[in-house]
Copies of this chain bind each other. A is one copy, B any other.
Amino acid sequence: MLTLHGYWRSGAAYRVRLALHFKGVAFTQVTHDLRRAEHKADSYLGLNPQGMVPTLVTPEGRITQSLAILEWLEETYPTPSLLPSTAIARAEVRAMAATIACDIHPLHNLRVLTALRALGQNEAGVQAWIARWIEAGFRALEPEIAARGGPYAFGRDVTLADCCLIPQVFSAERFGVAMGAFPVLSAAAAAARASAWAQAAHPAHQPDADH
């Protein structure tokens, strides 16, 4: 049995839940309330020295970093697949995923927003910071997704790109980012999000959701 250490509203944990539910892999969850700094407790740092979620505990060992977990899930549970059949298409899917996982999400996660506030940024400044990086990434993704023809981020099949896009759109909506300039990206996220596997992974449907 796999155990996912996460938090209902963490975008990176949400990516992993999406892949687990898409593949139909059973798992249990342990929650770490980020607002109460439970991810910085010594007991968790032994599992994840970065003090970040998610961590996946497997029979072979624990894995940190959502991109590494997604690749491990794909290797370990190859069907249904979250990667296309050719190397160039796999690279394009991974590039979409990395655009989100490297160049959008890390710039507006909790620790960075806390650091900005400590530098004297008010809430308007923090909101502008969040929107700036989400919009920059979405502007680049919009034509890439459009080029694939939908309905999902990389065309007809669900991929790792959707596992990263759905949580990023969730965050964008939560932070009030204007989505009007990204109609194709929004439609792709909505198409994937409507699936039963994606609904099961939604933050609001997790046992630790508090609203």
Instruction: Kindly supply a per-residue 1/0 record for chain A positions 55-94, scoring 1 wherever the CB is within 8 Å of any chain B CB and 0 otherwise.
Output: 0001011011111110110011000000000111011101
- A88-B61, A95-B65 are contacts. A106–B102 as well, Cβ < 8 Å? yes
Asked if A98 and B68 sit within 8 Å, CB to CB, the answer is yes
Is A52's CB within 8 Å of the partner chain B? yes
Task: Identify the closest chain B residue to A12 (Cβ).
Answer: B102
- Kindly report which residue of chain B lies nearest to residue A143, judged by CB atoms: B49
Query: A171 near B: Cβ within 8 Å?
Result: no
Q: How far is the CB of A15 from chain B (nearest CB, A)?
A: 12
Q: How far is the CA of A49 from the CA of B103 in the complex (A)?
A: 13
The answer to whether A94 and B71 have CB atoms under 8 Å apart is yes
**A87 and B76 within 8 A (CB):** yes
The CA-CA distance from A190 to B141 in the complex, in Å, is: 37
Q: Measured between alpha carbons, how far is A66 from B115 in the docked complex, in Å?
A: 27
Most chain-B Cβ atoms within 10 A of its Cβ — which of A49, A51, A137? A49
Bound complex: CA A137 to CA B90 (Å):
28
Q: Is A101 an interface residue (CB 8 A)?
A: yes
* B106 with A94: CB separation less than 8 A: no
Chain B residue nearest to A87 (CB atoms) is: B75
A101 to B120, alpha carbons, bound, how many Å? 27
Question: With A and B bound together, what is the CA distance between A18 and B72 in angstroms?
Answer: 24
CB-nearest residue of chain B to A139: B49
Q: Which residue of B lies closest to A120 (CB)?
A: B120
A31 CB to nearest B CB, Å: 21
Contacts A67-B98, A103-B52, A107-B107; is A58 near B129 (CB within 8 Å)?
Answer: no
- Check: A148 CB closer than 8 A to any chain B CB: no
Q: A60-B86, A65-B99, A67-B94 are in contact. List 16 more A-B contacts (CB 8 A).
A: A49-B141, A49-B144, A50-B99, A50-B137, A61-B92, A63-B91, A63-B95, A65-B94, A67-B98, A67-B102, A68-B97, A69-B91, A71-B94, A72-B87, A98-B101, A119-B125
List 8 interface pairs A-B (beta carbons < 8 Å), by A numbering: A50-B99, A50-B137, A51-B140, A60-B87, A65-B94, A67-B94, A68-B91, A68-B97
